[in-house]
Structure 1
Amino acid sequence: RQVSAVPGVQSAAPFVYSQVMLRSASGIAGAVVRGIDPRADGSPIKGYDREALIQKIRPQMISGSEEALAPGIVLGKELAQSIGVAVGDSIYLISPKGMVSPIGHLPTMKRFEVTGVFESGFYEYDASLAFIHLETAQRLMKIEDSVSGIGVRVGDIYQADAISDAIVAELGFPFWTMDWMQMNRNFFSALKLEKKAMFVILTLIIIVAAFNIASTLIMMVMGKTQDIAILKAMGATDRSIWKIFVFKGTVIGLIGTVTGVALGILGCVLLKYYKFIELPGDVYYFTSLPVQLEFADVFVIVLAAMVICFVATLYPAYKASRLNPVEALRYG
């Protein structure tokens, strides 16, 4: 109740969390079992507890029934396939929370019926996560009425850190919290580094394009030598000649930049709604390429492209403005 009363918290539900082994007639695999109350508002089986990280992903029951969770176990799709079971099959859950006997430590083993299979699209969860009823998990882990923690769903995922601090302030010591950003710190650090690398690569591509603009203008100066000489003979100043070629190069850069940005935004919008680029879930974190337009990034890219293109026009424009009309007409 205290956690649910914190501003920004939509729902909260207790859970029990433990590493176990799952054994079936055709295979065995390590798994993470999570004991939940499927009737609670914060139950992850109805709204995935990684919603803060992947807003568009929610587990969908592809077979079985989530209401049947109490007497059985719900497995991730990849986990169910790895041990060769389907809805209605029986498996054994082996927990390290056992008892000490004269022959040593004996793990706890309990038989479960597979009552459901879920698919989140997040391979690590689909390949390792299993849900059982909260009370069953408490008995299995021999923790009576205790729980491992309280799962919290917030209204604004970007306020999760502030809400986390508010929960700690409300509950006090010895309680502690971990939000989705802290849980995935390494992942986001990798994304940040990748974004910087992509910016460097994009900058290099723009620089190459700028060299193309410069070479085009230089060839134009060489081809228009007599025309430039005639303009100067008619009274055109060095500055006016310089402006002509700077304007020409800037227009070329502007047309290329606007066309590229328009095609890029169109591609992002189509990809966001139609998801025509699919990714293998066992390799990447997503089954489709996620897209989010950041107009601040678009503005920086456009500005950088235009600045580089402008700089690329300076040398050809300078050479054109310094052209000697007498020599140009004599040897042209």
Structure 2
Amino acid sequence: MGYEAFIARRHLRSQSRLGFIPIISIISILGVFVGVMALLVVLAVMNGFEQEVKARIIGTNAHVILLRYGNEPFAPDEGLLERVRTTEGVVALSPFVYTKAMLQTGDEQDGIVLKGIDPAGEPGVSDLLRRTIPEGESLAWDGSGSPPALLGSELALSLGVLTGETIVLASFQNAARTPFGTVPKMTRFRVAGTFDSGMYEYNSTLVLVPLRAAQGFLGMGENVTGVSIRVDDAYRAPEIADRVAARVGHPPYRTNNWIDLNRTLFSWMSTEKRVMFVILALVILVAAFNIASTLIMVVMEKTREIGVLKSMGASLRGVLAIFVIEGTTIGAIGTALGLAGGYALCWLLDRYNFIPLPGDIYFIDSLPVRMEAIDFARVAAASMAICLVATLYPAWKASRLDPVQAIRYE
């Protein structure tokens, strides 16, 4: 250990004649500690929210969808489906019908999104039929009687619809034209239950019906709107979507994937995370000003000692190093405590979920937490960099002191 580190350590351990410098040092350490800990907790919670949102999107949507240009209906012949099925990375597929419609029950009516799905194939591409109430409702329909329908939980609640009741769906797609105007197609459906997708947008607007019932209701014959596709790695969906498009013909077919469809949402979440990083880093910056103030007062108090050191041959760089080491030591202690405190608090939040959230607003009932090593590294690096910069001015002032004037200083 060089004399610079030895003297810096003695300064930190020594009692000040002014009395309050050690207190300011402690306050500086606490400031860095609080800033680092708060930043880590906020980043972990935002990571948790992002992970939860992605999990909900992946669970309720196909990873890739195959459509025709212009969203024109098409007949999914076996040759087409086989080319999709045998594409590398494809795990499962299921055709679907998708359109806007009007739902009426009693005096209540609302605009909805109608999705016709294959009860046998849909569980392979999404989790929607695993989230039904009553549990296990599969939309199985033998073609007789009113076809079943599953309503989003929020939609059913807003309309006051109960399981077993009858609803009427109306659509202008392929509607009949008469001398008196266009007459919408109307069909009665039996409410078989509800589903909770975990996302308000789906719960408040989506109605699921059997694929055959949707095709008959809309007069589509054997045509479908698209094909839902599940892949072996959701995060490789764009790459596999391009492969599917190449296999089936591009054009007339095109593909979309869950990442591109939600790119705006993910971009917003990433931007919000960066903004929060900058805002909370200001807490560390305030603590760094305390470090600078502490070192300036130490320089004032130790002026005579600095003069003695320089008269004994201490270099400008050596004096500079003494105060840089002092400041970075204060920053390192605060940063280390903040990292430990942040990890402990995140672990407690993840383990015990003691901060409840209103599930009807946030779609989850407790704070989601996901710690990432890269966040700890970035926060530690940013904290130490800020603290290092804060030490430079007082250290430079100390190194520029004239030894003769410093020794005479009282």
By the TM > 0.5 criterion, same fold?
yes
Which contiguous aligned blocks of 4+ residues in structure 1 show a shift greater than 6 angstroms?
A: none
1:6 aligns with 2:87: yes
What pairs up with 1:1-332 in 2 under 5 angstroms? 1-25=82-106, 27-40=108-121, 42=123, 47-48=127-128, 60-63=131-134, 65-70=136-141, 71-97=147-173, 98-172=175-249, 173-232=251-310, 235-272=313-350, 275-277=353-355, 279-280=357-358, 289-332=367-410
1:159 and 1:296 map into 2 onto residues whose CA distance is: 22
In the TM superposition, residue 42 of structure 1 has moved relative to its aligned partner by 4.7
2:347 and 2:228 map into 1 onto residues whose CA distance is: 34
Listed one character per residue, the Cα deviations across residues 163-203 of structure 1 (whole Å, up to 9, x for unaligned) are 00000000002110110122112212322322332233244
Give the structure with the higher percent helix: 2
Over 3 Å counting, the alpha-carbon distance change for 1:145 and 1:257 in structure 2 is: same
Over 3 Å counting, the alpha-carbon distance change for 1:282 and 1:59 in structure 2 is: farther
Listed one character per residue, the Cα deviations across residues 188-242 of structure 1 (whole Å, up to 9, x for unaligned) are 2322322332233244333333222111211222233344344445554433322
In the TM superposition, residue 89 of structure 1 has moved relative to its aligned partner by 1.7
1:176 and 1:11 map into 2 onto residues whose CA distance is: 18
2:370 and 2:167 map into 1 onto residues whose CA distance is: 42
| Secondary structure of 2:194's aligned partner | strand
| Secondary structure of 2:103's aligned partner | strand
Q: Which runs of 5+ in 2 are unaligned?
A: 1-81, 142-146
Over 3 Å counting, the alpha-carbon distance change for 1:145 and 1:121 in structure 2 is: same
Q: Is the 8 A contact 2:139 2:209 kept in 1?
A: no
Over 3 Å counting, the alpha-carbon distance change for 1:292 and 1:79 in structure 2 is: same
What is the aligned-residue RMSD (CA, Å)? 2.6
Residue number in structure 2 paired with 1:55: none
Aligned sequence identity (%): 46
Q: Is the 8 A contact 2:102 2:110 kept in 1?
A: yes
Under a length normalisation based on structure 2, what TM-score does the superposition of the two structures give? 0.71
Over 3 Å counting, the alpha-carbon distance change for 1:144 and 1:136 in structure 2 is: same
| Secondary structure of 2:85's aligned partner | coil
Query: How many residues are treated as equivalent by the alignment?
Result: 322
Q: Is the 8 A contact 1:10 1:155 kept in 2?
A: yes
Query: Match of 1:77, as an amino acid?
Result: S
Q: Is the 8 A contact 1:64 1:117 kept in 2?
A: no
Q: Which moved more, 1:202-211 or 1:217-226?
A: 202-211
Q: Which runs of 5+ in 1 are unaligned?
A: 49-57
Q: Is the 8 A contact 1:34 1:129 kept in 2?
A: yes
Query: Match of 1:314, as an amino acid?
Result: L
In the TM superposition, residue 60 of structure 1 has moved relative to its aligned partner by 2.0
| Secondary structure of 1:67's aligned partner | coil
Over 3 Å counting, the alpha-carbon distance change for 1:91 and 1:273 in structure 2 is: farther
Instruction: Flag the structure with more relative contact order, 1 or 2, with Cα contacts below 8 A and sequence separation at least 6.
Output: 2
Over 3 Å counting, the alpha-carbon distance change for 1:11 and 1:267 in structure 2 is: farther
